[in-house]
Structure formats: structure tokens, C-alpha cells
């Protein structure tokens, strides 16, 4: 069997590794470079929370991905900066504390491992936190890793298992062959080549929608800009990854929108909440971000960076003296209802989709890649995938028949 994977982000490289290790011929076609988009531009946070008693698909993607990062680091010897100290989500107001208490209690009832910390417990664990904070949610199993190194490590492992990774090779057309297989047209060195495949995986992040359109399928994934800032390197003081409760409470109270995917910081051009996550990298830089705006425009919103920096300094006072030395933005693949998309595309035999991992795709991508590889190989999934979002809708029945 020959499979073409489109996209060398965290999902595509992980899928390629699983397929290659199962003896399948794999070519990864990547328009830019490995980890050149969101998979290399993110904050590197990996949520966990434990498997619990009845793992939902989100738990499977998070915990399964964490296991894959551990495997890369501990068994395969890749230095991906993996750190499993945990994440603290800081609580500033009484309202946030009530919400956090209820959320942690609900998670613990199904066997998950989140803990609610008092203010004193927080400052004991993380002395850089403002002592005026009311406490924190501890995700003791949460991890973080260096995004470029981790994605490149999946690609390197896939290549040593026999996968061919073609960079600077945009896919320009997809054509069904009539025997259930596909011809994948790529532009390479000013010429057009055609790759023959028995199956094709779309793992192209926010660009899955463009690829779907090539075969008359509407893929419900849109681009959301995320942006971050980094300080100059500092002595290592911050032990945990850090997040804030403010946005979770706003989104819980707000409910879904008719006009945009869930959990964005802006709606119709107006800020609705402040979101925050980040960490201190092994090289000493503080890296934080949070804004999520529905747009394909990667221009940095400097006012948004100032809001995020101010928010970080409220929670970690030492950040007041650490101005942003560098800023950047990337595009996150949000499905329109916020759920991941993973499985065969209806009406297009041999074509599969793995995406829509939104703002948590670094932490969920490795397991997404493994599961889509299993589905392509016709293996019975080990987990219940029923709660996944619908994959796509055929909008042009004449195309790709
Ligand atoms: C600023 C920021 C911070 C984030 N922080 C976190 C975090 O801390 N934790 C977390 O879990 N997640 C985080 N995320 C989200 C996470 O990075 C993404 O969800 C994840 O990387 C998506 O991976 P992917 O493989 O689906 O897509 P991508 O990384 O976008 O990869 C898709 C690839 O497909 C390629 N491609 C597109 N079109 C074509 C074509 N026609 N032909 C060939 N190749 C093509 C692209 O060039 C790209 O390399 C963050 C994202 C951003 C932007």
C-alpha cells in the first residue's frame, strides 16, 4: 500500500511515522518546511489530566500524544526539551475560584488527576506567582516540549522507518484514478510531478479546506491567528507552564457563537476575554501568548501583545521587567464547532482528513496522526471515535468522481 500525507506538521509527521513503521510506503508532501507552520510556532504546552475512568476522544488525543512525546524522548533518544513538571492555571477572582472548584470536582469524579491549590500551596510550588492570587488548578501530568525539535523528531523517525519527506512541494491537484486510488500532483523544482497513492491523508492544518475544495468537498476548518511574544533569556526560575482561568470562565458563561468557532478571544472585531498560556523555555526565554482571532492575516496585533504581556505581569510580577524581545504569529486550524476532525471523507474513497485540532494541536497531534494511520489501514480503532465532528460535506458531486 502507498499513502501520501499532505502536510509535515505534527499530525502529518506522526501519521507518517506510524504508517512507515507498519510497512506502508509513505510520501509526505509539504509545501514549505517540516514544522514551518503552527506546529513549529506554538507555545509547546501539552495538556494531560490523566486517562480517567471513561476517556473521551479529547482525553485519548491528549494522553495518547503525551505518551508519544515520552516515547520520542525516553525510548528514541530525541532531545525535544520534554518537561513533565505540570501546568498551573492561575486563579485571580472569587468567580474564577468557584468555576475552578466545580471543574476540578467534575474532573475528579471521572478519575482525572487535576488538583485545586490554595494561594499558599501555589506560592510554595511556584514562588514567582503573585501571592495575592487566590490559587490555581494544577494539571500535574501536563508537559511541554520544544515544538520545532519535536515535530522534526517525528519526521526523522518516519524517514528512518522508510518514509520519504518532500519539502517545498506544494500539492496543486488531487485526482481520483477510478480504482479507489489517487493521483497527487505536486510542484517541485519548477516542474509538476504526480505521486500515485492508494490513500491520501489531508494533514494540512487550516489549509485542509483548500485541499477539500480541490475535490468538491467542504471541509469545516478555518484559520485562527494565534500570536506570542518572547523575552530575552533569563535565569531559569519558572518551574511550571502557566495559564490563566479568566478565559475559561468567560467561554463557559458565553456559550457557542453562530458566527465563529468557540473559544476565541475576539468576536466581530471586539475583545471578549483575555487568554493566556506560556512557559520559560530551557534557553531561559519567557514565551507567552493567548489571543485567538478569526483571520488569515498574520500581521501582529501589537495592542494584543501589550494586553497579553500586562496580563502575564499581573500573575507573575517579575514579568513587569521583561519586555517582549520578539513577537510572532501563526495560523491555528479551528473546526467550526471546535471538535477535532479525524476519519475518511464521505463520498471520496481513499481520502482521509486529520485536523481541526485548534489551539491544542501540539498536545493532541501525535495521537491524531497515529489514529488516522490506523483508520487508513482499516484497523479497528482502539477507542470510541463517535464524538468526533462530521468530516466534510460534498458540495460538488461532479468533481473527483
Ligand atoms: C501561536 C500559537 C500557539 C499555540 N500554542 C499551542 C500550545 O501551547 N499547545 C498546543 O497543544 N497547541 C498550540 N497551538 C496549536 C497547534 O500549534 C496546532 O493546533 C497544530 O500545530 C496543528 O498541527 P497540524 O499538523 O494540523 O497543522 P500545521 O502545523 O499547520 O501543518 C500543516 C502543514 O501543511 C502544509 N500544507 C498546507 N497546504 C499544503 C499543500 N497544498 N501542499 C503541501 N503542504 C501543505 C503547511 O505548509 C503546514 O506545514 C498553537 C498555535 C499557535 C499558532
CATH superfamily of 87-140+222-335: D-Amino Acid Oxidase, subunit A, domain 2 (3.30.9.10)
The closest of 328, 381, 375, 345 to 42, measured between CA atoms, is 328
**What's the CA-to-centroid distance between 209 and ligand 1, angstroms?**
14
What are 315-342's pLDDT values in tens digits?
Answer: 999 999 999 999 999 999 999 888 999 9
CATH superfamily of 2-78+147-220+337-394: FAD/NAD(P)-binding domain (3.50.50.60)
**What's the CA-to-centroid distance between 42 and ligand 1, angstroms?**
8
Residue with CA closest to ligand 1 atom 37: 204
- What's the alpha-carbon Rg for the chain, to the nearest Å? 21
Question: Looking at the whole model, is its pTM more than 0.85?
Answer: yes
**What's the CA-to-centroid distance between 293 and ligand 1, angstroms?**
15
Flag whether pLDDT at 71 surpasses 60.
yes
Q: Domain boundaries in the chain? A: 2-78+147-220+337-394, 87-140+222-335
Query: What local confidence, expressed as pLDDT, does residue 102 receive?
Result: 98
List all residues whose CB is within 6 A of at least one atom of ligand 1: 6-12, 29-32, 36-39, 41-45, 170-171, 203-205, 207, 211, 226-228, 277, 289, 330, 332-333, 355, 357-363, 365
CA distance 335 to 347: 20
Is residue 389 very low, low, confident or very high in pLDDT (cuts 50, 70, 90)?
low
Flag whether pLDDT at 400 surpasses 60.
no
Number of other residues whose CB lies within 10 A of the CB of residue 281: 21
What are 272-318's pLDDT values in tens digits?
Answer: 999 999 999 999 999 999 999 999 999 999 999 999 999 999 999 99
Instruction: Work out which ligand 1 atom sits closest to the CA atom of 331.
Output: 53
CA distance 368 to 245: 27
- Compute the mean pLDDT over every residue in the chain, rounded to the nearest whole number: 95
Residue with CA closest to ligand 1 atom 16: 361
Query: What local confidence, expressed as pLDDT, does residue 397 receive?
Result: 65
Query: What local confidence, expressed as pLDDT, does residue 390 receive?
Result: 65
Percent of the chain scoring above 90 in pLDDT: 89
Amino acid at each position: 500500500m502507498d499513502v501520501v500525507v499532505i502536510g509535515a506538521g505534527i499530525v502529518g509527521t506522526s501519521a507518517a511515522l506510524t504508517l512507515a513503521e507498519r510497512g506502508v510506503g509513505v510520501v509526505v508532501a509539504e509545501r514549505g518546511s517540516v514544522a514551518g507552520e503552527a506546529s513549529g510556532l506554538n507555545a509547546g504546552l501539552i495538556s494531560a489530566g490523566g486517562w480517567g475512568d471513561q476517556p473521551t476522544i479529547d482525553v485519548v488525543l491528549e494522553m495518547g500524544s503525551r505518551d508519544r512525546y515520552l516515547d520520542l524522548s525516553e525510548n528514541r533518544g530525541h532531545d525535544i526539551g520534554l518537561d513533565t513538571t505540570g501546568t498551573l492555571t492561575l486563579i485571580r477572582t472569587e468567580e474564577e475560584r468557584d468555576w475552578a472548584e466545580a471543574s476540578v470536582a467534575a474532573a475528579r469524579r471521572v478519575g482525572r488527576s487535576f488538583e485545586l491549590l490554595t494561594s499558599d500551596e501555589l506560592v510554595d510550588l511556584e514562588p514567582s506567582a503573585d501571592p495575592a492570587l487566590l490559587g490555581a488548578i494544577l494539571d500535574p501530568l501536563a508537559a511541554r516540549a520544544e515544538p520545532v525539535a519535536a515535530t522534526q523528531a517525528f519526521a526523522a523517525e518516519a524517514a528512518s522507518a522508510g518514509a520519504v519527506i518532500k519539502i517545498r512541494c506544494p500539492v496543486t491537484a488531487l485526482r481520483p484514478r477510478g480504482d479507489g486510488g489517487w493521483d497527487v500532483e505536486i510542484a517541485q523544482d519548477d516542474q509538476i510531478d504526480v505521486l500515485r497513492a492508494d490513500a491520501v491523508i489531508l494533514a494540512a492544518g487550516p489549509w485542509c479546506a483548500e485541499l477539500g475544495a480541490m475535490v468538491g468537498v467542504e471541509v469545516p476548518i478555518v484559520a485562527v491567528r494565534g500570536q506570542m511574544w518572547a523575552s530575552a533569556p533569563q535565569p531559569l526560575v519558572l518551574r511550571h507552564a502557566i495559564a490563566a482561568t479568566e478565559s475559561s470562565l468567560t467561554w463557559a458563561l458565553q456559550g457557542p457563537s453562530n458566527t465563529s468557532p468557540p473559544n476565541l478571544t475576539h468576536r466581530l472585531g471586539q475583545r471578549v476575554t483575555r487568554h493566556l498560556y506560556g512557559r520559560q523555555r530551557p534557553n531561559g526565554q519567557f514565551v507567552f501568548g493567548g489571543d485567538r482571532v478569526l483571520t488569515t492575516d498574520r500581521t501582529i496585533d501589537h495592542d494584543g501583545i501589550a494586553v497579553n504581556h500586562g496580563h502575564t505581569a499581573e500573575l507573575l510580577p517579575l514579568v513587569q521587567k521583561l519586555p517582549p524581545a520578539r513577537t510572532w504569529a501563526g495560523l491555528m486550524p479551528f473546526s467550526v464547532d471546535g471538535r477535532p476532525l479525524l476519519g475518511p471523507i464521505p463520498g471520496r474513497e481513499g481520502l482521509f482528513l486529520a485536523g481541526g485540532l485548534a489551539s491544542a494541536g501540539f498536545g493532541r497531534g501525535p495521537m491524531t496522526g497515529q489514529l488516522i494511520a490506523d483508520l487508513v489501514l482499516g484497523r479497528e480503532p482502539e477507542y470510541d471515535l463517535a464524538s468526533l465532528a462530521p468530516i466534510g460535506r460534498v458540495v460538488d458531486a461532479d468533481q473527483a468522481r
